[in-house]
Structure 1
Amino acid sequence: MDFKAASWNIRGMSSIDKQDEVIKFIKDEKLCICTLVETHLKPDNISKVCDRIFGVWKWYSNIGVSPNSCRIIVGWDPNKINVMFIQVVRVRRDLWKDIRIHATIANGVPWVLMGDFNTTKSVNEHSSGGSYLTEDFGAMYPQAFGMFLPYMVSDQSPSVLHIPNSLIKKKRSFRFMNHLANKDEFLFIVEQGWKRHVEGHKMFQIVSKLKLLKEDLNKLNWNHGNIFNNVKNKRDQLSVCQASIDSNPHDQHLKDLAVKALNEYENAKKDEYVLLQQKIKIKWLGEGDRNTSFFHSMLKSRKAKNRIDGICDEQGSRHEGDQVADQFVEHFKRFLGSTVSCRNISELGDIFTNTLSSADADDMVVPVTDS
């Protein structure tokens, strides 16, 4: 998997146009990490903008040392790389001093320095001279190269470091499509997979069996084909069967085929529903309550689901709009808020015809003993 890092002096990030350009830049270049310089974002706006740009990525800014206006923001994909921030300094000379110390400590270990430099040590390091690789870096990553792309909405070109085939793809945890649990073969596949003999301690046995079981479940998923195509195909088959019955309504064979097609279509729809539910949960866990379009669409969906557009009163009359709230108030006023006069029970006379005698009533309150 390729590693791609970018640095871009964006010259202000408050405008939507620049934010959209950065989002497109990260997506088109398939970046793992992106540094934005001179963002000039205010403290009360930085979270909203960064959540919009980076989405499920993690991000960090230097707002702590630049409280009036954020200068630097770093966003990265936590599923691909890990990022550590060592130190943030205010004084430029101290920064260069720390970089020289780091260069000494990292002697023989490839490292890269990216950013927007107002001054350079020598003329050949200016933008007209391009980028340079040290011998150590070139020896370990011979295919690495740098790119300076069109500056688009800024007056500075974004720089991209590209190191092909340098990242090890992270293995995903055990997971399978929930709709497979409804298949007839599912329990048999799980049972057979769990009976496999694996040498090693208990935790190693569990992990190894899950890996093997994952392959079998993936095959089962592929055997059932694309779920969304299945729904379409089963619907077309049901439509053909029902059209044939309309032409020949007394043919029992066609009726049996139609019943079978209907069952298959309903099962396909059920699989599709379960899959979509699972994908929504996964996406929700990934994006959480970040200020994303997905989050707002979920809010709108829930709000629409919980909205009451019309209601019928006790007489069966329908009320809509502003009258809905009034009807709720009136209902609970009658149910909870009305006052009714009560009569003393002694005034009811012989309302209770079946009563206990005095002796039977006394027996009901006799203390319980062992005798």
Structure 2
Amino acid sequence: MRYINYNTNGQIWVFIKEGTSVGVISDTKQQLTLQLTLDNGYQFMVTMVYAKCTALERLCLWEDLYTIGLDFSLPWMVGGDFNVIMEEDEKISGLLVYPQEYEDFALSINSCELFDLHFIGNPFTWWKGKSDGECIFKRLDMVVINQALQDLFGHLEIQHLARTGSDHANLQWKLRLKKTKLALTRWSKAKYEDIFKQLLIREEIVKVKEHLFEEHLTSLNNRVLRQAQEEYNLYLYYEEEFWRQKASIQWYNEEDKNTKFFHRLVKGRRKRLALQRVLRSYGTWAEGEEEVLVEAVNFFQHQFIGVIVERILI
């Protein structure tokens, strides 16, 4: 049987096909959050949004999302009409947009560790005006997800469809399970167990073997210590490979061993919505994704060769 429901004020409706178990997590005037369980056992959350028109009224929505993010650790998708843009270039024509109008939105998304999905189609999902006069275009409708959902599902595609019968464009997304990745993950855990747990265990073993060798300088204790060190180094390599793949880095030098760098980069990617520009060392601003990316690469490369470069992030 199909699942049909709507939120507390009847402005958000949801229709779910058969074969999916549904539970309501949160229901307010601006959002409806459901927990979905597929027939294969996979669970994730979906939050449908229809935000109010004023920044003050939207504060309640941001608080709802923050609370959900704190209370649950499931894979999570949030989408709908947010009634606010994320940044200045998501609007054409009309009155000027002040940062205060969209900073709360960006802060809420970052606090929940959500990030915007790449989309296909017209960048503006809403328009107002006449075909023969001045028109205002905005991107008010979008889908954001957390890293857990990205890891659970394979190809996530958002498409902005044509605006027909409404001033808003419909959003269409498709989720495809990463069956191969999930199978490999299970195999990896079975073969290597948890990398980080095993790394801590191997580190403690090395400490014990070092102490034993210092007290009894025998060839046997030396061989045992070397074997423990080799196993420890192997798991250090596994850990570094894990963070390198999470960071999607291809350009680093194989000689550079800095796992903390990859860890910071992964976390930084989740908060990229708040990073709008950086101040170069010679005093000019780098703005836009490409310029900021170039400055970030230069910054870390200079760190690796010992050059200190100051940056101010905005």
Give yes or no for TM over 0.5: no
Structure of greater Rg: 1
Bigger relative contact order, structure 1 or 2, given CA contacts below 8 A and separation 6+? 1
More strand by share: 2
TM-score by length of 1: 0.39
TM-score by length of 2: 0.45
More helix by share: 1
